[in-house]
Structure 1
Amino acid sequence: MAYSEHSVPPTLSAFISTVALFMFAYGGLTAATSLGGETFNPEKNMPRGIVAGWAIALVVYTLIAFALFNAVPYQLAINLANTHHAYLLTAPALVGLMQSKGVAVFLNVLVTLIVIKTLAPVLLDASRYLYAWSEDGLVTDKIRAVNSRHVPVVALVITAGIGSLFLLDAVYAGWAIAVVIRATSVAATFATLGLGTLMLSWWPQWRESRPWATRVTEGGLIKWLSVLAIIIGFLLIASVINSPGKPWYYQPWFQVSVSWLIALSLLGYAMVSRRVQAGGSLTERFRAPPED
């Protein structure tokens, strides 16, 4: 559909949906929680920081969505997607199409500064996860090495190296593997949680070996929600796992599969050759329900 002055303007629900999508894609909140062990008075400051960060992000993304809705006709975005120019569907590219070159350059400079600013928190977040995996026995103890200032330098260097490879991948593939991994991981979690709940509901051996199974599967609605979670999980994975026109080695399904194989190899290594620091095998630890 071509854009015209008589086209129907976007609705309030479309605007709210866009803001919600922005917020769902915001990874800063999950990154913040991984630094709880290094936060002063975390019991008080972490909840405050999470709420404040969420509120600030909501305001910023609302303003961005409002600016885009007023600067770019939404029909233009639809036409770009339908004509295989979806790579232009970013905030700097869309504004550059509609505004002067100077405005587009200024916005690109701002985006570059934001990306540079984001590198440090991303490295901190990922390196702390890697350090924690080393503590749990999922990877080698050598990753827990720290310098004189108690900084996990080995984990930071590994994270920076993997991040650089992902950056090269994004340049040549046209999409970010980290985003696809996160999306498929969330969707796989939905589906796995639904499947596990159904197994706990109907598989006698599972129910008998887990005394808490009755409590977590109580009620008929939970079973329907479990089926729905499986369906939604597979649909979401199918929507992001393929990139038309890309070679097989740049396809999301191939790179995600490699990532999952690496993860399973690390898990197998931990289960066969190590025991978790907290005591007991990894299998026993995963089978235990979270404490109330």
Structure 2
Amino acid sequence: MKGIFRTKSIDALMDETKRDGGLEKVLGTFGLTMLGIGAIIGTGIFVLTGVAAANYSGPALVISFIIAGIACGCAALCYSEFAAMVPAAGSAYTYGYIALGEFWAWIIGWDLILEYAFAIGTVSIGWSGYIVNIINDFGINLPKAITSAPLAGGIINLPAVLIIAFITYINVIGVKQSTTVNNIIVAIKLIVIFLFIALGVGHVNPTNWHPFMPYGFGGVISGASVIFFAYIGFDAVSTAAEEVKNPQKSLPRGIIISLIVCTLLYIVVSAILTGMVPYLKFKTTAAPVAFALQQVGYHWGAALISVGAICGLTSVILVMMFGQTRVLFAMSRDGLLPKVFGHVHSKYKTPARSAVLIGIVTAVVAGFIPINIVAELTNIGTLCAFIIVSIAVIVLRKKEPNRKRVFKCPWVPVVPILAIIFCGGLIAKLPHVTQIRFLIWLVFGLIIYFGYGYKHSIVTSQSNNDQEKTS
């Protein structure tokens, strides 16, 4: 069993990406930055701001966003070092493989499968809710049977299934088409967010910020663990590494710029939001940004915000599904998952079969499981992946100190340790039932690894062949 900690050579990995059947290189810094913004700005700003303000942070939601942003910022610097050094598909999974070994790579990959699959389901259900509300505003009342999961009183959440089917098609036909659609959607939602800022800033009442920290500092930390969902997805930028024209420069820029832009927008929007409306009023709404504009009389603005929310959620689904397929592609190429996940379409140069399979699985999740169950497991998988990548940066600096690093994470090991501490603290604040379900997920993953992945691993097979030749 000692073979489970065998690492993968960076040089061998880069040779694999140059073989026939690889992914097409079409992305630059702008496309990557828009991918990051597309993944980050969505559910967090349009839905979770109200939940966190009303139940955890109060007006100190600004502090919660700063704490979550620092945790992600430290992790982003670690990701950037790896992304520039190892521009291959797979993100944290690939980084774990080369630094910590196959076993830890599997753990990260399994975490990312959890993160992306449940995030896609969660956001699709939220998208369905916004669409149904807009249709209702036009006087068309869709029956609950086709807009809710069975456990929520319906039969199937059909709008959620349909948006996943559409996004699956976009991901199949090509990364260039995917990023074009994403760029358009991101532009729309940024315009809508700036509209909210322009309309709302004049209606801020400082008395609404008192008490600033009604649930104490513990509530602020809990709020940070909840709205951390707002940040998941910046790592999806690194999953596109193999499709970037100049990865050494573009990847670090795309990761860091998208995170900075989104963090600043989150801070400004949350400050205006809690200044416009007393934080307790957000207990009654799942659309806090539109709700705040309605409260001050901008009903037309609230309608536009709803359109922006739909665009925001659409781009999140698009980038999450993009990231999910690339992680599966990398794990399949390494032999840890069946080859079907690693097949590249001859015409579109995308992992089309993987995209279709992910579309089917996430459509089932979104169509038949209530949002509260789907959403619970997303954050913890991401936080664990961030921790392992941060550890991997420290380990690889020790193992290969002379390897060329185009981008270096500053102040190693301080920054990676801060990422570990912040992410570990946020995990501790998540509900115990979420932690237990996560452990069950990991056990299930280990069964698959030892039952299939370990036996079919290309690294293990090559090592065994080398031993046979020398014996």
C-alpha separation between the residues in 2 aligned to 1:48 and 1:172?
A: 34
Q: Give the drift of 1:272.
A: 4.4
The 10-residue stretch of structure 1 (58-67 or 37-46) with the greater mean CA deviation from structure 2: 58-67
1:156 equivalent to 2:355? Answer yes
Structure 1 segment 78-227 matched on structure 2, within 5 A: 80=283, 88=285, 91-92=288-289, 95=292, 98-100=295-297, 101-148=299-346, 149-168=348-367, 171-173=370-372, 176-182=375-381, 185=384
Deviations 1:161-220 (A, max 9, x none): 232234246645365145244256359859xx7xxxxxxxxxxxxxxxxxx89xxxxxxx
Partner of 2:259: 54
Distance 2:67 2:269 in 1: 12
Taking only the aligned residue pairs, the percentage that are identical comes to: 19
In 2: Cα distance, 1:280 partner to 1:271 partner: 15
Q: Is the CA contact (8 Å cut-off) linking 2:290 and 2:301 kept in structure 1?
A: no
User: Could you list the runs of 5+ residues in structure 2 that have no partner in the other structure?
Assistant: 1-57, 73-227, 392-397, 400-412, 465-471
Matched, 1:266 2:448: yes
User: Is the CA contact 2:337–2:453 (under 8 Å) kept in the aligned structure 1?
Assistant: no
When the two chains are superposed, the root-mean-square deviation of aligned CA atoms in Å is 4.0
Aligned to 1:286: none
Q: 1:267 to 1:99 in 2, by over 3 A?
A: farther
Aligned residues: 225
Amino acid at match of 2:358: T
* Paired amino acid for 2:338: T
Which structure would you say has the larger RCO, counting Cα contacts within 8 Å and 6 or more residues apart? Answer: 2
CA offsets 1:62-91 (integer angstroms, 9 cap, x no match):
2222221222223545xx4xxxx6xx4653
Which of 64, 88, 101 matches 1:17?
64
- Once the two structures are TM-superposed, the CA of residue 43 in structure 1 deviates from its matched residue by 0.9
Q: Secondary structure of the residue that 1:47 maps to in structure 2?
A: helix
Q: 2:438 maps to which residue?
A: 256
Q: Secondary structure at the match of 2:314?
A: helix
- Secondary structure of residue in 2 paired with 1:280: helix
> Within 1, Cα distance between the matches of 2:373 and 2:272?
25
Partners of 2:320 and 2:344 in 1: how far apart? 19
Aligned to 1:36: 241
Inter-partner Cα distance in structure 2 for 1:183 and 1:47: 19
1:240 to 406, 425, 430: 430
Q: CA deviation at 1:269?
A: 2.6
Deviation at residue 32 of structure 1 after TM alignment: 0.2
